[in-house]
C-alpha cells in the first residue's frame, strides 16, 4: 500500500476540530499523528471574533497543540492586508474585540466616530452591531473608505444545532446601503487565507490537503486555491445532505474526498486512493 504523499494539512476550525466547546473525537490525536509523520499543520478560519491568543487558548483547552504561527484567521488577514497597503491606516470597525485587537496589533488606528476620516471600513461578525454603527460605516464608505469584509458567511451554526446571522448578513446590509460589493473579502471562499498559510508554512499547493466542513466556503475556496479538499461530516453537512450540497455548489464527486471526521485522515491509504482517483490515475 502506498503512503500518502503530502507535506502539509490545513484545517478549518469549527465543525472540523471542535463543535461548540467539545473537541471532535480523535481530533487531537490526529494532529499529533500528522506531526509525528513530519506533516506540517495549519488552521485557516473565517471566524473574526477571536484574536489569535483567544483561539489558541480554546484549542489548547480542547487538547490541541497548535502554535500561534500555525493559525490564520480572516481578522488577521484583514489586518495584515491593510497594514501592507497603508501603514497606520485609520479603520472603522464593525466587529468584535478579537478583530479590533488584530487591527491594533498591526499598528492600525481604530476609529469610532463619523467625524474622523477612515481609510478603511472593516466588517466582521458583530453581535452588538447597531443601526448607528451601520450608518457610520456607510458614510465612511460613501466618503471613500475602502470596504473590507472579513468573511461573508451568512449564518453561524450554534452548539445546540440552531443558527445565528453571520458576518455576511452585516456585509449584505452595508452592500445594499452603499450600492457596491466589498473591495476585498478576506475569508474563504476567497483564496487568500489558503495561499497566505501556504507561504507561512513554506508549502506548495500540490503537497497539501485541506479539511473543512462547509462546502460553499471551505471546499469551494480550496478548489479555487488549487488544494485538494476533504469534506468532513462533523459540521454543517451530514452524510444525508453531502451529495446534494456538493451538487448544488457545482462540485463533482471526484473533486473532493468525503470522510466521516478528522480522525479518518489517519487511514492514509484511503485518502491516497481517492485522491488518485480524482486525478484520473
Question: What minimum distance in Å lies between the beta carbon of 114 and Mg ion?
Answer: 35
Residues 4 to 23 in contact with Mg ion, rule: CB under 5 A = 12, 14-15
Binding status of residue 153 toward Mg ion by CB under 5 A? no
Q: What is the DSSP string of 3-22?
A: PP--SEEEE-SBTTTEETTE
**How many angstroms separate the CA atoms of 276 and 107, rounded?**
46
Nearest distance from residue 73's CB to Mg ion, in Å?
12
* Residue whose C-beta lies closest to Mg ion: 15
For residue 233, the minimal CB distance to Mg ion (Å) is 12
Q: State the Cα–Cα distance between residues 156 and 96, nearest whole angstrom.
A: 15
Q: How far is the CB of 12 from Mg ion (least distance, A)?
A: 4
**Stretch of 25-33, 69-77, 171-179, 212-220 lying at the interface with Mg ion (CB under 5 A):** 212-220
Sign of CA dihedral 83, 86, 90, 95: negative
Residues 6+ apart with CB under 8 A from 52: 68, 71, 73, 76, 102
Q: How far apart are CA 215 and CA 196, in angstroms?
A: 20
- Among 56, 213, 227, 262, indicate the residue that binds Mg ion (CB under 5 A): 213
Q: Are residues 237 and 213 in contact, defined by beta-carbon separation less than 8 angstroms? A: yes
Q: Which is nearer to Mg ion, 12 or 119 (CB)?
A: 12
Binding pattern for the stretch 228-257 against Mg ion, x by CB under 5 A and - elsewhere: -------x----------------------
CA angle 54, 185, 196 (to 5 degrees): 65
Which range, of 109-117, 149-157, 206-214, 241-249, touches Mg ion by CB under 5 A? 206-214
* Interface contacts to Mg ion, rule CB under 5 A: 12, 14-15, 213, 235
Amino acid at each position: 500500500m502506498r503512503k500518502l504523499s503530502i507535506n502539509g494539512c490545513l484545517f478549518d476550525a469549527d465543525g472540523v476540530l471542535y463543535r461548540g466547546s467539545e473537541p471532535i473525537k480523535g481530533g487531537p490525536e490526529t494532529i499529533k499523528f500528522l506531526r509525528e509523520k513530519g506533516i506540517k499543520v495549519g488552521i485557516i478560519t473565517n471566524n473574526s471574533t477571536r484574536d489569535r491568543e483567544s483561539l489558541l487558548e480554546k484549542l489548547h483547552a480542547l487538547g490541541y497543540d497548535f502554535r500561534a504561527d500555525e493559525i490564520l484567521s480572516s481578522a488577521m488577514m484583514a489586518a495584515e492586508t491593510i497594514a501592507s497597503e497603508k501603514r497606520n491606516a485609520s479603520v472603522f470597525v464593525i466587529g468584535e474585540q478579537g478583530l479590533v485587537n488584530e487591527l491594533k496589533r498591526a499598528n492600525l488606528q481604530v476609529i469610532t466616530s463619523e467625524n474622523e476620516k477612515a481609510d478603511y471600513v472593516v466588517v466582521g461578525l458583530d453581535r452588538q452591531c447597531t443601526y448607528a454603527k451601520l450608518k457610520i460605516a456607510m458614510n465612511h464608505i460613501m466618503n471613500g473608505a475602502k470596504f473590507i469584509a472579513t468573511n461573508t458567511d451568512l449564518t453561524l451554526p450554534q452548539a445546540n444545532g440552531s443558527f445565528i446571522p453571520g458576518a455576511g448578513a452585516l456585509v449584505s446590509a452595508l452592500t445594499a446601503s452603499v450600492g457596491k460589493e466589498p473591495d476585498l473579502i478576506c475569508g474563504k471562499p476567497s483564496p487568500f487565507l489558503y495561499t497566505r498559510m501556504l507561504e507561512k508554512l513554506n508549502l506548495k499547493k500540490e503537497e497539501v490537503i485541506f479539511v473543512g466542513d462547509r462546502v460553499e466556503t471551505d471546499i469551494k475556496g480550496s478548489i479555487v486555491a488549487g488544494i485538494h479538499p476533504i469534506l468532513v461530516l462533523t459540521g454543517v453537512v451530514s452524510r444525508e445532505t453531502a451529495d446534494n450540497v456538493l451538487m448544488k455548489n457545482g462540485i463533482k464527486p471526484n473533486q473532493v474526498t468525503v470522510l466521516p471526521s478528522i480522525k479518518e485522515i489517519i487511514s492514509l491509504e484511503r485518502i491516497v486512493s481517492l485522491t488518485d482517483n480524482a486525478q484520473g490515475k
